[in-house]
């Protein structure tokens, strides 16, 4: 479970970034088990983003060769506000009706932008590692397996699927 892994026994590694003065994308492969919508991506960052930094998530189809291929959708571009800092768990919404088809493999990535490259810090975890499911792309280069660079880790990003649900609640009393 993603949130369990943030405890003291999380075995979090990193955080990782693609180098200064460059763009980079980090993410994981997943399989849609039902026809549904991608609502958002949740990622675990190192908390070093500054106000004004930007982040975006992208959804790709997976190629037969097992690498990310065609871009399906980009999330909205998120600009870090004071209320977002320190940014650890960041929920990155996708446009409505970003459809996922049952039985299809997808790849969900978060993007490091040049302006905030030295503050981008996505965690990985060896606790939930599955070989050949996390990939990295630096600049305009090709996608490559994270296994070959950072070792046996899965990037800490997950897809939130289904229909968005708004919860309305109110605090009616606070006792000392």
Task: Kindly report, residue by residue over 36-45, the tens digit of the pLDDT.
Answer: 999 999 988 8
Q: How far apart are CA 56 and CA 149, in angstroms?
A: 23
Tokens 């990622």 sit at which residue? 43
Task: State pLDDT tens for residues 55-86.
Answer: 899 999 998 888 999 999 999 898 888 887 77
Q: How far apart are CA 164 and CA 121, in angstroms?
A: 27
Q: How far apart are CA 8 and CA 95, in angstroms?
A: 34
Q: Which residue would you say has higher pLDDT here, 167 or 148? A: 148
Q: How far apart are CA 35 and CA 11, in angstroms?
A: 33
Say yes or no to pLDDT of 12 above 60. yes
The DSSP-derived string for 110-148 is EEE-GGGTTT--EEEESTT--TT-EEEEETTS--EEGGG
Query: Which residues, at least 6 apart from 146, have a Cβ–Cβ distance to it below 8 Å?
Result: 26, 124, 134, 135, 136, 153, 155
For the chain, give the mean pLDDT: 82
Task: State pLDDT tens for residues 114-159.
Answer: 777 677 788 788 777 788 888 889 888 999 888 887 777 788 888 8
pLDDT for res 85: 77
For the chain, helix (H) and strand (E) counts, in that order, are: 0, 14
Q: The whole model's pTM is what?
A: 0.82
31, two tokens: 């399989």
How many Cβ atoms from other residues are within 10 Å of residue 51's Cβ? 12
113, two tokens: 């932008």
Structure confidence at residue 6 as a pLDDT band (50, 70, 90): very low
């Amino acid at each position: 479970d993603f949130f369990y892994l943030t405890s003291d026994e999380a075995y979090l590694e990193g955080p990782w970034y693609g180098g200064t003065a460059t763009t980079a994308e980090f993410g994981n492969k997943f399989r849609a088990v039902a026809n549904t919508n991608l609502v958002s991506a949740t990622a675990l960052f190192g908390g070093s983003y500054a106000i004004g930094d930007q982040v975006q998530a992208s959804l790709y189809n997976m190629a037969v060769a097992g690498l990310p291929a065609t871009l399906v959708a980009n999330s909205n571009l998120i600009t870090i506000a004071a209320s977002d800092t320190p940014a650890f768990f960041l929920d990155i919404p996708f446009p409505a009706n970003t459809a996922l088809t049952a039985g299809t493999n997808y790849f969900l990535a978060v993007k490091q932008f040049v302006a905030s490259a030295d503050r981008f810090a996505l965690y990985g975890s060896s606790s939930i590692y599955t070989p050949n499911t996390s990939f990295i792309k630096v600049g305009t280069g090709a996608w490559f397996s994270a296994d070959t660079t950072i070792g046996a880790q899965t990037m800490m990003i997950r897809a939130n699927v289904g229909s968005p649900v708004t919860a309305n609640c109110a605090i009616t009393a606070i006792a000392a």
